[in-house]
Structure 1
Amino acid sequence: MADHQRIYPMQATEAPPPPTVPLMPPGSSRSEKSVPVMQQNRPPLTQHARPVIHAPKPKRGCFCKCICWTLVLLIILLFILGATAGIIYLVFKPKLPNYSVNSLMISDLRLNFDMTLYAKFDAKITANNPNKKIGIYYEKGGGLSVWYSNTQLCEGSLPEFYQGHRNKTVLNVSLTGQVQAGSTLMAALQEQQQAGSVPLELKVHAPVAIKLGRLKLRKVRVRGECMLTVDSLSANNPISIKASDCKFRVKL
């Protein structure tokens, strides 16, 4: 038999690998390679499309904190002052000093050639300190004055002295003064005298310092007004005080 022809199988050829395509075209700069692909595909911004900038949320500043702390400190200070004043009031029970007019005498009341009215009064008043635990220092600058129809007739100075607890002190004060337009004023006084009722006003202003125990506090001013009605203004004769109404207050 003829030789059988041998058939050998052909070896399968491997397909060449597909060409690789780089993500970035050659020649691109290094900075371009670092940009994500999605940003590269984003369309460029136009003039009308602007980026939105979100404003930061407001925060409480130091100024608001300072105001809050200042208000808190003021409230605490007012509370301490109020508590201190309340304790002092409960312990010492302060009362206003008061004054009374014992007598009033006119030493001189005349009309001068220049038509001024000259007046000289002698007043005796009693200063009363009703406090049990408070002393009063009468400082320099205190005074007493006599007025008629909103016109000051004369004035005098109060002496300096210390008044103890629950003490009454009698003060003799000499008052002098000279008033313009004396003829008109003198005629009005004489008319009131004929009626037997002359209204006068006695004003007191006294700078005093309060003593609490051994502590001497700051100076305050005591002001008083006494509405008097006298029967006569005859010189060198005792004057009868028909009515008296006094009011007092403290001015810091």
Structure 2
Amino acid sequence: MKPALQKPPGYRDPAAPQPPPSQPKPPPSMRKPYVPPSFHPNRKRRSFCRCCCCFFCISFLIIVILLVVGSAIFYIWFDPKLPKFHLQSLQTPKFNVAVKPDGTFLDAHTVVRVEATNPNHKLWFEYGATEARVSAEEDVELGSGHAPGFVQGKRNTTVFKIETDVKGAQIEDGVGRRLKDRFRTKELVLVVEVRTRFGIGADRFRLGMVPVRVRCGDVSLKKLDGENYVKVRIELLQLVKDQPTLTMNSNQGGRKQISEL
């Protein structure tokens, strides 16, 4: 017998059943994959935040503009001016340095008169309690005193009187000798520091009170006895203003006193 012939590669038997035709694969979908709702950007929330931010910015800008316009109108209408302070007199009716076996002691009494002037035509001032401290050279304290608060009218000048005392204050022997000699020759240098608070008002409204410090110093008793210009330093809202002031002995004339506390 002859061997059976082998079928060539790729040969198909026409009697064999044909497989069903395969369906073509559909083209890939162009739709985006499904994303859960929690991953969607919250456009409404962003829009609300932008609206709030714009609202606050515009409101702040309007408030600033109103404040600037109101301040300008207030300044033009009232023409505000700061108060003026002068050291009217500084007297030392008692200044005694006693040398004892156990040390050197100082007794002193001073009388300070400070003049406050309101130069405004439409505004009044309200002062709080006033404190005055007096010291001599070489940092020797001569005591402090207080004056009550008061309201100062328009175009008004007020003099407030403050008395200070120091009794039995022990000082160094050398300092006591120098103070005693300089007091006798009227070369003793004194310094006055006045601290108070004042507010400004017009008709029915009043602004808040701010602190003010007035320093009159480095002047000898000899200069205080006559007419001399003394440097006065005013510190208000961290601003420093120096102005000369004419001091006069209380026994002399020349300064009109409208009211005294």
CA shift, 1:181, in A, is 3.2
Q: Aligned partners of 1:137, 1:57: CA distance in 2, in Å?
A: 60
Do the aligned residues in 2 keep the contact of 1:117 with 1:181 (CA within 8 Å)?
yes
Pair 1:125 & 2:114 matched: yes
Which one of the candidate residues 135, 142, 155 is aligned to 1:147?
135
Count of aligned pairs = 207
Residues 79, 155 of structure 1: CA spacing in aligned structure 2 closer, same or farther, 3 A cutoff? same
Deviation at 1:229, TM superposition (A): 1.3
Between the aligned residues of both structures, percent identity stands at 23
The equivalent position to 1:73 in structure 2, one of 59, 64, 67, is: 59
Match of 1:37 among 22, 25, 48: 25
Q: CA separation in 1, counterparts of 2:183 and 2:130? A: 30
**Cα distance in 2, alignment partners of residues 192 and 73 from structure 1:** 65
Aligned equivalents of 2:135 and 2:82: distance in 1? 24
For 2:69, what is the secondary structure of its paired residue?
helix
SS in 2 for 1:170: strand
Alignment of 1:163 onto 2:163: no
Shift of 1:225: 1.4
The answer to whether 1:93 aligns with 2:92 is no
TM-score, reference length from structure 2: 0.62
1:156-195 paired onto structure 2 within 5 Å: 156-177=145-166, 179=169, 181=171, 183-190=173-180, 192-193=182-183
Which segments of 5 or more consecutive residues in structure 2 lack a partner in the other structure? 1-17, 29-38, 239-261
How far 1:173 sits from its partner (Å)?
1.6
**Aligned pair 1:137/2:126, yes or no?**
yes
Query: Partner letter of residue 142 of structure 1?
Result: T
1:107 match: secondary structure: strand
Contact 1:229-1:243 within 8 A present in 2 as well: no
The one-letter code of the counterpart of 1:204 is V
